[in-house]
């Protein structure tokens, strides 16, 4: 079941002058959401912006008794909405509709789980790591950013027993270069062992991960972030090209709010994805 | 005082209230069945249907503009038969009043779809999309020609007893002449306005933001123009006008009714707030109660214009 709530801001944690984690009081959404699902967020009461924006649910928040009280969003300041989310103060309210969309497949042992995150693409992996941990699935996080300042929240994953592999493009932390490089090596050294690869980040990164996974016969799931109008299947703005089940036509547009945002990496026709 | 009567008549059709979900803005309605009590709406105009399925345009399909929404979806959708088989039974289960929006590349296609839908139980009306700015063939080609408008309406009129509601484009010099052409061809009502042809450019790449280069503008940005066009059409014809264009609050609903709309459609605002329908209905009821109207009919076309004020362009 999905709800639309005026969620009270519990805290706004600034991680840097660009990234923040916004904690929202939304117990129903917290209770219902599965890893990979998203919410549609409205920051302003007026018409700037007019539409809501989609955000992955980052964490499910609990009080000190362990009861679910809300969710958090991981946001990177790039436009009007993310600027508003960066500036919002505790006890203000944010309109929040969700949970929406398809969730990740949660794999169990003996399969292991590899999560590949680029920058703010870390967002869906906190709840995923928790769900994998509950099933005692061996989990690795491949996490890449431009600089060390782009890498966050590592202790959360460490506490869950997640193995962490870091890269930065400027070499300021972890291995210098792109996150797909250690992934490639890992695929070679663990040849034959079964792992589900999850990816979220810039589209070229997700495409690389999908191709690496396909070549190594590993299943992949990617979390796409197209421009969305409504999040409910009403507007047909957020379509992505997928392979058709029948062979009559090669590509078919599907609504990522309903059929996604999580897709199998082999399902997406990457060259047609803009 | 009793609750005011919200029901309105569109030709032979009576709607329980004047609030209709606009075509292209609520999918096939079924997507919203868990969010909205579809039976409480006056009607649902489902996404435009051709005879066959269509893929639509490549993304990017949507750009937000100041108080507006620019789109070029390209009428992606299922064909009419799949709609009848898969979507209509769900809409009926939710007791929705179904207005089917139909599109065609040719006059023959409009008539064929109308004929197919006329053989199906439980369709309230046909809305003729002769105004989509986002497809190259058919559609707006008919809506931008008085003869084309007349011919499509007449062709559909000849094959169906369902109420026929052509949806007019604002991308013409004198919209009321198109409303008149539709009335003369046998339309039961007209709906207006569809979106305004518009464009947005990325100044860093100097490329259009939409893959289709141009698209249709909706949202509060267009509302005053839509109100003016509803007013002009109401003055020009005797059949009902269904008004739309940027309605986001109950105040806006009342404004369109006062301008001459018998019912209204809401689209873009439903994206921002899918729970908007009870708010609009309650707000309309409150307005009627406050102004001591027993029926919504009392306010339709009630705009007060003095004798010496201009009522036509150019007066």
pLDDT tens-digit series, residues A145-197? 999 988 999 999 999 999 999 999 999 999 999 999 999 999 988 765 799 99
Return the CATH number of the domain spanning residue range A224-274. Answer: 2.10.240.10
Domain ranges within chain B, ordered by starting residue: 8-299
CATH 3.10.20.30 matches A3-100: no
Query: Is A232 close to B35, i.e. CB distance below 8 A?
Result: yes
Identify all chain A residues contacting B211, using CB atoms and an 8 Å cutoff.
Answer: 274
**Tokens 């599965």 correspond to what residue?**
A34
Contact of A47 with B68, CB cutoff 8 Å: no
Cα nearest neighbour of A54 on chain B: B272
Q: What are the counts of helices (DSSP H) followed by strands (DSSP E) for chain B? A: 10, 16
Task: Please give the Cα distance from B210 to A131 (Å, whole number).
Answer: 39
The answer to whether the A104-223 and A224-274 domains have the same CATH topology is no
pLDDT tens digit string along A193-248? 799 999 999 999 999 999 999 999 999 999 999 999 999 999 999 999 999 765 55
Percent of chain A with pLDDT over 90: 87
| Residue B20, CA distances (Å) to A110, A271, B42, B243 in order | 53, 39, 5, 10
Contact residues, chain B to chain A, C-beta under 8 Å: 24-27, 31-32, 34-35, 47, 55-56, 58-62, 64, 66-69, 71, 73, 76-77, 211, 219-220, 248, 268, 270-275
SS3 A17: coil
pLDDT per residue rounded down to tens, chain B (315 residues): 689 999 999 999 999 999 999 999 999 999 999 999 999 999 999 999 999 999 999 999 999 999 999 999 999 999 999 999 999 999 999 999 999 999 999 999 999 999 999 999 999 999 999 987 666 666 777 889 999 999 999 999 999 999 999 999 999 999 999 999 999 999 999 999 999 999 999 999 999 999 999 999 999 999 999 999 999 999 999 999 999 999 999 999 999 999 999 999 999 999 999 999 999 999 999 999 999 999 999 999 999 998 777 766 554
Active centre residues of B (catalytic):
132
Give me the sign of the Cα torsion angle B168, B172, B177, B181. Answer: negative
Query: Is B62 close to A232, i.e. CB distance below 8 A?
Result: no
Helix-helix angle A180-189:A203-215, to 10 degrees: 10
- Test the B interface: residue of A46, A51, A97, A235 with most B CBs within 10 Å: A235
Q: State how far residue B311 is from chain A, nearest Cα, in angstroms.
A: 31
Query: Is A1 close to B66, i.e. CB distance below 8 A?
Result: no
Note whether A203 contacts B: Cβ–Cβ < 8 A.
Answer: no
Task: Please give the Cα distance from A3 to A42 (Å, whole number).
Answer: 14
- Residue B300: CB atoms within 10 A of its CB come to 21
Q: State how far residue B62 is from chain A, nearest Cα, in angstroms.
A: 6
- Average the pLDDT over A56-61 and give the result: 97
Domain ranges within chain A, ordered by starting residue: 3-100, 104-223, 224-274
Task: Please give the Cα distance from A154 to A138 (Å, whole number).
Answer: 17
Query: What's the CATH class of domain B8-299?
Result: alpha beta
ipTM of the complex in this document = 0.93
B34-65 as b/e: b if 16+ CB within 10 A: ebbebeebbbbbbbbbbbebbebbbbbbbbbb
Give the pLDDT of residue B311: 61
Give the pLDDT of residue B315: 47
First to last CA, chain B: 43
Check pLDDT > 50 for residue A90: yes
Note whether A252 contacts B: Cβ–Cβ < 8 A.
Answer: yes
Query: Is A97 close to B274, i.e. CB distance below 8 A?
Result: yes
| Residue B207, CA distances (Å) to B200, B203, B211, B214, B280 in order | 9, 7, 9, 11, 39
Return the CATH number of the domain spanning residue range A104-223. Answer: 3.40.50.80
pTM over 0.90: yes
- Test the A interface: residue of B64, B268, B269 with most A CBs within 10 Å: B64
Task: Please give the Cα distance from B235 to A265 (Å, whole number).
Answer: 57
């Amino acid at each position: 079941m999905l709800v639309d709530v005026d969620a009270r801001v519990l805290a706004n944690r600034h991680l840097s002058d660009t990234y923040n984690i916004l904690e929202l009081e939304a117990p129903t959404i917290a209770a219902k959401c599965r890893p990979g699902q998203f919410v549609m967020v409205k920051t302003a009461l007026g018409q700037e912006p007019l539409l809501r924006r989609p955000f992955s649910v980052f964490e499910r928040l609990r009080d000190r008794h362990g009861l679910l009280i809300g969710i958090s969003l991981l946001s990177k300041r790039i436009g009007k909405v993310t600027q508003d989310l960066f500036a919002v103060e505790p006890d203000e309210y944010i309109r929040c509709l969700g949970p929406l969309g398809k969730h990740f497949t949660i794999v169990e042992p003996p399969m292991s789980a590899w999560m590949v995150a680029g920058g703010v693409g870390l967002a869906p992996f906190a709840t995923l790591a928790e769900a994998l941990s509950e099933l005692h699935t061996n989990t690795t996080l491949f996490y890449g950013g431009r600089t060390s300042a782009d890498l966050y929240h590592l202790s959360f994953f460490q506490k869950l027993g997640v193995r962490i592999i870091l890269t930065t493009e400027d070499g300021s932390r972890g291995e210098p270069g792109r996150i797909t490089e250690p992934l490639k090596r890992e695929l070679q050294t663990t040849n034959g062992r079964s792992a589900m690869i999850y990816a979220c980040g810039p589209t070229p990164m997700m495409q690389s991960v999908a191709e690496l996974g396909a070549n190594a016969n590993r299943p992949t799931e990617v979390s796409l972030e197209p421009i969305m109008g409504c999040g409910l299947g009403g507007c047909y703005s957020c379509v992505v090209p997928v392979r058709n089940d029948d062979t009559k036509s090669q590509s078919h547009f599907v609504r990522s709010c309903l059929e996604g945002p999580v897709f199998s990496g082999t399902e997406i026709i990457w060259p047609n994805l803009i | 005082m009793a609750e005011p009567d919200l029901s309105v008549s569109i030709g032979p059709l009576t709607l329980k209230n004047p609030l209709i979900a606009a075509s292209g803005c609520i999918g096939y309605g079924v997507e919203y069945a868990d969010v909205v009590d579809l039976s409480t709406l006056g009607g649902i105009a489902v996404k435009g249907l051709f005879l066959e399925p269509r893929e639509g345009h490549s993304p990017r399909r949507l750009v937000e503009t100041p108080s507006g929404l620019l789109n070029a979806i390209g009428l992606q959708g299922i064909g009419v038969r799949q709609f009848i088989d898969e979507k209509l039974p769900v809409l009926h289960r939710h007791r929705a009043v179904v207005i089917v929006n139909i599109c065609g590349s040719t006059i023959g296609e409009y008539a064929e779809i109308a004929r197919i839908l006329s053989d199906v139980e439980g369709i309230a009306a046909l809305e003729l999309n002769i105004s989509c700015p986002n497809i190259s063939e058919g559609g707006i080609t008919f809506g931008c020609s008085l003869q084309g408008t007349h011919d499509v309406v007449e062709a559909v009129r000849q094959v169906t007893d369902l109420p026929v509601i052509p949806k007019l484009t604002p991308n013409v010099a004198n919209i009321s002449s198109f409303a008149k052409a539709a009335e003369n061809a046998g339309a039961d009502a007209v709906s207006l306005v569809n979106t305004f042809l518009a464009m947005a450019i990325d100044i860093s790449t100097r490329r259009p933001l939409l893959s289709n280069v141009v698209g249709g503008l909706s949202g509060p940005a267009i509302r005053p123009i839509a109100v003016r066009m509803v007013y002009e059409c109401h003055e020009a014809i005797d059949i009902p006008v269904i008004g739309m264009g940027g309605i986001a609050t109950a105040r806006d609903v009342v404004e369109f009714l006062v301008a001459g709309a018998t019912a209204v459609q809401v689209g873009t605002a439903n994206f921002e707030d899918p729970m908007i329908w009870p708010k609009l209905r309650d707000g309309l009821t409150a307005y009627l109660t406050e102004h001591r109207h027993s029926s919504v009919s009392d306010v339709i076309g009630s705009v007060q214009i003095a004798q010496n004020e201009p009522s036509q362009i150019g007066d």
